[in-house]
Amino acid sequence: MSGTFSKLKNAYRLLQHIDFNMLAKLSEKVDLPKVIASVAQMNDNQLNGLLKMLGGSQGKKALPPIDGDFYNLGGKLNEEDRALQLKVRAFMEKEIQPLVNEYWLKAEFPFEIIPKFKELNICGVTYEGYGCPNRSFLMEGIIAMEMARIDASIATFFGVQSGLAMGSVYLLGSDAQKQEWLPGMQQLNIIGAFGLTEPEVGSGAAGGLTTTAKREGDAWVLNGQKKWIGNATFADVIVIWAKDVDDNQVKGFLLRKGTPGFSVEKIHDKMALRIVQNGLITLKDCRIKEADRLQQANSFKDTARVLRMTRAGVAWEAVGCARGAYENALAYTRSRNQFGKTISSFQLIQGHLVEMLSNLTAMQTMVYRLSEIQDAGQLKDEHASLAKVFCTLRTRDVVSRAREVMGGNGILLEYNVARFVADAEAIYSYEGTKEINSLIVGRAITGVSAFV
């Protein structure tokens, strides 16, 4: 027992001398578990010598770990959930972090990550059957946070695939449609997208869609355009929401890649979420079989069921984005020296860090409770909207302070905060802007709708 303790103590002392960024860089170059195993075998003299080389000394107080989960919400998870959280974290740190800035700059999607992504087996987190993990909404939120903590674009890719696209089929498809699409989507062999927004209709989608669907025999003819559709440039199937010209109701259609009359143009020059491939879709007399109409989607109320389920996930994404920025900024302030001291020792810098952490902790506790409500089957639109508004607003504040405490380096991609600053802007607007989500909450608490 005491042998195990002294091994653990050695490893703990070593890790205290390595910050988050250094750890990420080291893990690319060396086999960290092996290094930790050999450190565990060292005697006190050998270990002290090593720590001295790393800039530590026995007299100097070890720095606290860098961890944005200040209230240890992760500690509330059961063993199985905690293991999955750490598995996703390891994937993001090992597979995504090293390539993310390069791809963000190129505005391309790193397709080479898909095989490792598949191994995580996390698509359709909360769904039952079709190979899906059937885990809690809390776990889904934690996965979104862990992804966005490293990169909000990859979190968005996942949100579109697992939430919006798979969710539409899962909630609104017939048994045959679920059988056809969900297992392949769960395995990421089939990539999905979700086409609701149009060039002229965003917030007003509920009543204002202009894309039309006309029933002709055993098929539907679709005409119109869809803008901002994530994954659309390479998706195998796109859920298209269109208004039935006969009954004026919104219906959902599973548009297969290569359908004649369908074309998509990549949206270039975005300043945020540059890895996400957003498309402008044009549908010109696109014929879709009745069998590919989502059989349980009969009005916009059904579309809203999908959005209600996924909006909570966007709040979690905002938390991840804030957490990544905070942790990187904290690490920076501990290594950057000015006036002969680390900038983390300055009161004004500590003030910023504490404001960031307060916001981050408030957000995390809020989304944690939100997921508990969702897991209890009691989630209402206004619950998800409140969290989406609060978290995306606070995230903007956190990322801007993170950038501020880093001075000029805060705007350089390589310091891993600038990307969060930009990406927070897109998360702030998609799946309902601040105004629209505020109006949903306003309607719930006043009983008066100010927008529809």
User: 273 vs 322, which CB is nearer to ligand FAD?
Assistant: 273
Phi (first) and psi of residue 68, to 5 degrees: -75, -5
Q: Does 313 bind ligand FAD (CB under 6 A)?
A: no
DSSP notation for 348-372: HHHHHHHHHHHHHHHHHHHHHHHHH
Nearer to ligand FAD, 138 or 440 (CB): 440
Token pair for 446: 């006043």
Residues 168, 120 contacting (CB under 8 angstroms): no
Neighbours of 35 (CB within 10 A): 14
Nearer to ligand FAD, 50 or 393 (CB): 393
Judged by CB under 6 A, the chain residues 146 through 165 that form the site for ligand FAD are 160
The contact mask relative to ligand FAD for 410-439 (x = CB under 6 A, - = no) is ----------------x--xxxxx-xx---
- 171 and 163 Cβ atoms separated by less than 8 Å: no
- Cα(325)–Cα(25) distance, rounded to whole angstroms? 17
Instruction: Pick the binder of ligand FAD from 117, 181, 194, 390 (CB under 6 A).
Output: 194
- Under the binding rule (CB under 6 A), the answer on residue 290 touching ligand FAD is no
Query: Is the distance from CB of 296 to CB of 254 less than 8 angstroms?
Result: no
Q: Which is nearer to ligand FAD, 124 or 195 (CB)?
A: 195
Query: Which stretch, 32-40, 53-61, 228-236, 387-395, contacts ligand FAD (CB under 6 A)?
Result: 228-236
> Cα separation of 59 and 451, whole Å?
63
Interface with ligand FAD, residue 209, by CB under 6 A: no
Residue 11 CB, nearest approach to ligand FAD (Å): 41
Candidates 152, 172, 229, 281; binder of ligand FAD (CB under 6 A) is: 229
Quick one: which segment of 107-115, 174-182, 192-200, 254-262 binds ligand FAD (CB under 6 A)? 192-200
Core vs surface per residue 387-396: b (16+ CB within 10 A) or e: bbbbbbbbbb
Contact with ligand FAD (CB under 6 A) among 127, 130, 158, 228 = 228
Q: Does 170 bind ligand FAD (CB under 6 A)?
A: no
The dihedral sign for the CA sequence 258, 121, 171, 276: negative
Under the rule (CB under 6 A), what is the footprint of ligand FAD? 160, 194-197, 202-203, 228-230, 273, 276, 278, 426, 429-433, 435-436, 451
